[in-house]
Amino acid sequence: MRAYPTTSSPPNWTRPVRSSASGASGSRLPDYPVWKLNLGAGVKPAFPRSLVVQVKALACELPHRLGLPLSRLSIEEIRQHVISQGLVAEISGATLWRWLSTDALRPWQHRSWIFPRDPNFAARAGPVLDLYERIWEGAPLGADDFVISADEKTSIQARRRKQPTLPPAPNRPTKLEHEYFREGAWTYLAAWDVHRAKVFGRCEVKNGMAAVERLVSEVMNQEPYKSARRVFWIMDNCSAHRGQKAIDRFRAKWPNAVLIHTPVQASWLNQVEIYFSIVQRKVLTPNDFSSLAELEQRLLAFQSHYERTATPFKWTFTRNDLHALLAKIAAKRLAPAA
C-alpha cells in the first residue's frame, strides 16, 4: 500500500479481518478492516486513501442515520465513531480535521433554508429581480422611475439593564448585565431606495395599514418621488399590505405608486431585509436602552449616520439564477429518497 506523502517512511501494517459475534458488520459504512500500524519511533502513521473517503462520507451523514443520538457531529464524535466502528485502531482529531478541511466539510455547522411553496414563485419573483436591474416588463427604467424596498421589523424591545453596562477595557470586553426591565417595544418600518441608497423609517406602537400608509406618505410626499413617473414599492404579503386590495389602495392614494408583492416566504428577495440585518448588528446588539424614547432616537439617528457612507447593495441574483435554483430544487424534490 502506498503511504501518504506526510509520512517520513512507509510503515508496516497488518490487516486482520474485523467481525462481530454475529459475523456481520455493525456499521452502515462499507466494511473495512481495522488498520493496526507497527511504527518505528517518531514515524507518523499513513492511512489509505479509501479510509479518508469513508471518513468524509461519515461527515456527510446525518448523525441519527448512523444510530447516534445527536443532531450534528464534532471532530471528536467523528473520531470516536470511526474507532468504535473498527475502521481504524487509533487516529487523532487533528488528522480528521485536516482531511475534512480539504473539502471544506464542517458537519458541526448548519444553515436554515425554506423550500419555495408559492405556486407562482417564479412569476412573482421575476419582476422583483428585474426591478433590481432597473428593468420593468422588458424595458429599462427611466431616470424618473424609482424602486423602493419596504418592510416592518416588529417587536423591537427596549431592555433597560438592571446594572449599568461597563465599557470595554484592556483585556476585557464590554460587560452587559444579563437581567433587564422591559420598557416596551416598537415596530420599526423602513423603506430603502434600492438604487439611490436612501433610507426612510419610523417607529410605530403597532403594525397595520395605517402605520404603513404613514411611511409611504412620508416618502411619496417629498421629491423626487412626488413628481416621479413611477415609484415601485416592493413589499411582502403581510396583512398590512396584502393582495390586490393593497395594490388598488396604493394606486388610489398615490397614482404613481406601483405595489409589487414578493412571493410567499421569500423575505430574502426584499433588499430592505439587508438593511434590517445591519440595524440588528449595529444598533440593537447588545440591546441596552433606558427607555422607548432612547430606542426610537437611536434607530432614527442611525438612518442619517448610515446614509453618509451607504451605497446601493451589490445585488447579483438574477432571473437566470432564479430559474437555475428552481430547477435544482425541483430535481431534488423528484429524486428518490436515499
Q: What is the pLDDT of residues 56-79, one digit of tens each?
A: 999 999 999 989 999 999 999 999
pLDDT band at 195 (very low <50, low <70, confident <90, very high): very high
Topology of domain 121-327, CATH: Nucleotidyltransferase; domain 5 (3.30.420)
Q: How far is CA 281 from CA 173, 278, 284, 285, 302, in A?
A: 16, 5, 6, 5, 12
| 327: pLDDT strictly greater than 50 | yes
Position 18 confidence tier, pLDDT thresholds 50, 70, 90: very low
- pLDDT range class, residue 26, cuts 50, 70, 90: very low
Write down the residue that cell numbers 487523532 correspond to: 92
The pTM of the full predicted model, rounded to 2 decimals, is: 0.76
Q: Distance (Å, rounded) from C-alpha 273 to C-alpha 313? A: 11
Q: Which pLDDT belongs to residue 20?
A: 37
pLDDT score for 4: 39
Whether 261 shows a pLDDT value over 60: the answer reads: yes
pLDDT at 24 over 50: no
Band the pLDDT of 97: cuts 50, 70, 90.
very high
Report pLDDT for 96. 95
Question: Is pLDDT above 80 for 5?
Answer: no
How do residues 118-153 score in pLDDT, each as one tens digit? Answer: 888 999 999 999 999 999 999 999 999 999 999 999
**Is the Cβ–Cβ distance between 204 and 153 less than 8 Å?**
no
What pLDDT does residue 2 have? 41
Residue 13 has pLDDT above 70, yes or no: no
Q: What are phi and psi of 185, to 5 degrees?
A: -150, 150
Half-sphere exposure at residue 13, Cβ-oriented, CA atoms within 13 angstroms: 20
Q: What pLDDT, on a 0 to 100 scale, did the predictor assign at position 41? A: 52
Res 333 pLDDT > 90: no
Residue 279 scores a pLDDT above 80:
yes
Query: What is the mean pLDDT of the segment spanning 87-107?
Result: 94
> Looking at residue 335, what is its pLDDT?
60
**Residue (of 33, 22, 83, 92) closest to 58 by Cα position:** 83
Strands (E) in the chain, as ranges, are 12-14, 36-38, 135-136, 139-140, 145-161, 180-193, 198-204, 230-235, 257-261
Pick the more confident residue, 280 or 328: 280
Predicted local confidence at residue 8, as pLDDT = 35
Band of residue 332 on the pLDDT scale cut at 50, 70, 90: confident
**Averaged confidence pLDDT in the chain:** 87
Q: Would you list the domain boundaries of the chain?
A: 12-102, 121-327
Contact 79, 93 (CB under 8 A): yes
Percent of the chain predicted with pLDDT > 90: 73
User: Does 29 have pLDDT greater than 70?
Assistant: no
Residues for the chain: how many in total?
A: 338
**Would the pLDDT of 240 be above 50?**
yes
